[in-house]
Amino acid sequence: MTSKEKTTAQLTPLIPREILFGNPERTKPKISPDGKYLAYIAPDDKNVLQVWVQTIGKQDDRQVTADQKRGIRMYLWTYKPDQLIYLQDAGGDENFHLYQVNIQSNIVRDLTPFQGVKAQIVNLDHCFPDQILVGMNLKNPQSFDVYRIDLNNGAVEFDTQNPGNIVGWTADAQFQVRAAIASTEDRGSNLFYRETTEKPWETLRHWGPDEQGGPVLFSDDGNILYISGNHDANAQRLLALDLRDGQEKVIAEDSQYDISGIITHPTTRTIQAVGFYKDKLEWQVLDDSITADFEFLKAAHKGEFRIVDRTLQDLNWLVAYFTDDGPVYYYAYDRTAKTTTFLFTNQPKLEGLQLAPMEPISYVARDGLTIHGYLTKPVGVSTPTAAVLLVHGGPWARDTWGYKGQAQWLANRGYVVLQVNFRGSTGYGKDFLNAGNREWGAKMHDDLIDGVNWLVEKGIANKDEIAIMGGSYGGYSTLVGLTFTPEVFAAGVDIVGPSNLITLMETIPPYWKPLKRVFSHRMGDIETEPEFLRSRSPLFFVDKIQKPLLIGQGANDPRVKESESEQIVQAMKDAGKPVEYVLYEDEGHGFARPENRLHFYAIAEEFLAKYLGGKFEPAGSIDGHSGVVK
């Protein structure tokens, strides 16, 4: 970096962590099915996220929930007037309970008051407003049966038994569970179907271990089951399966990209549009009745737009616009008048700040595979500088375009940020996904190193000033980076990453048992090849670590247990390796409470500045966090 550019970077105002990692001011709006109320999530006077409601056309906003600590993140309107539901766990343990709240009385009822049991919403239907279908592992911790819950009195009625391997359920227009997706012994999956609830399940289709698919939606008359699947194709397509003759018809497809979103009419079950996430989100409109709406919305405001809610009469929509250099903008859309009315942004304090654009990039890996990703450069810096390789979790997920708090934080502190959709990431078709099979810590990591080399060769980053950081699988990648390629990175930040793939599989929750087959196929089989898993586990290569490591962990994490971090921290201390460790007593797989986020990122920011030379905001006093530095 030249002296002029260093001055420019230093003059770029430091964005407070509170803005980047604090709670949103208002977010996730939803309109009641009758169009009378707008709900949204916002913090209360104790900075805990709650559900708020206002009467549309009035300024009568009122808080209708009273969560005491972690805050509410997922809620839905029911089709019963004045009733909302939301999911909440305890301290990040992921044993979610389903709660009902009356927005007039603020009375909250736990609809699934069973200790140690996890609830999953299966379906709501406008034709059955008094009921909800819920999956619960009440009888067997390893599998979820379906229960029918009465929203009037909270009565729980057993509905459908899980034979043991079903991992997802689909109800028809009569609110009967008639399709399911099940894991199979060959590490693939079966599409189950039954003509009526009185008849036995039959297998309509089998997907092998290198294929994906599942049920999406029944047509209104019950004759068509829409499914996703990549059989007979590289990418997942949307198909209409005629249940009368077994014939499949392609509804929407792309040769390279999987379907990534489906828009359905609120009452008729008509599939109206299908999304494909390429560098950015693109829509294929299937229903002419919304073509003009999509054309209008695409041109109305900048950014990627998504329909986030609709009334039952379908005259009013809520639309979100996602940008890379600002907040999410929410609008109410009047379909009749073809007008949008601004509601709010989720983080208004981001507006007017010097935020960095996110650029889609691609490069060719060492074996010829094209790798896609995103590059975020610090404002005012164009020559080689320090960089952070920010690795996504999953690993069967992907990074997308748009505002990301971590990326903006790092860029604002002076670092180039590279986010890589390495092989094994989802969305790019099964060939790309399967290229990651059995490549944890191997070719998946090679793709990351090839990304680092690309940064250096392009003159974007300084070779000796690159850190690696990530959560979950990204945390594992951080540990791999410091052990398997110790000369590449100047430092690493691991958030809830597994250090030993053997103990990872031994300690995951019992209800993940059907999904363990996926891990066995894609990561390695703990039963038959523990030595292979050991060879891909950073814990056993601590002696190779040369550079400092920072680890953040939630004590209640059910996926990556506290022991995953504890064991590598202890091993590093025993070997005299530089490690810092922060444990949060009331967190799970990630940091939900803003006090804990702010505490950890203050530590991480100073850590990165120490080893990369970037800017940092002094930690100051952060009240209310549960972090213990060990």
For the chain, domain boundaries: 354-629
Alpha-carbon span 613 to 606, nearest angstrom: 10
- In tens, the pLDDT along 349-404 reads 999 899 999 999 999 999 999 999 999 999 988 779 999 999 999 999 999 999 99
pLDDT at 5: 44
- CATH architecture type of domain 354-629: 3-Layer(aba) Sandwich (3.40)
Tokens of 596: 């804990």
- Of 347, 496, 366, which Cα lies nearest the Cα of 423? 366
Tokens of 265: 């009419």
Tokens of 27: 């977010």
User: By three-state DSSP, how is residue 578 classified?
Assistant: coil
* Strand bridging mode 143-150 / 131-140: antiparallel
- In tens, the pLDDT along 272-281 reads 999 999 999 9
Amino acid identity of residue 574, one-letter, is D
CB 204 within 8 A of CB 219: no
Give bridge partners of residue 304 from the DSSP assignment: 322
Q: How far is CA 454 from the centre of its chain?
A: 27
Residues tagged active-site: 472, 557, 589
Those residues with Cβ within 8 angstroms of residue 14's Cβ, 6 or more apart along the chain or in another chain: 412, 413, 615, 617
pLDDT at 7: 42
CB 611 within 8 A of CB 415: no
pLDDT at 10: 53
Tokens of 177: 């569970």
The stretches in the chain having pLDDT less than 70 are 1-11
Tokens of 501: 């793939």
How buried is 246 (Cβ within 10 angstroms: 0-12 exposed, 13-18 middle, 19+ buried)?
exposed
Those residues with Cβ within 8 angstroms of residue 368's Cβ, 6 or more apart along the chain or in another chain: none
Amino acid identity of residue 67, one-letter, is D
CB 442 within 8 A of CB 536: yes
pLDDT at 515: 81
pTM over 0.85: yes
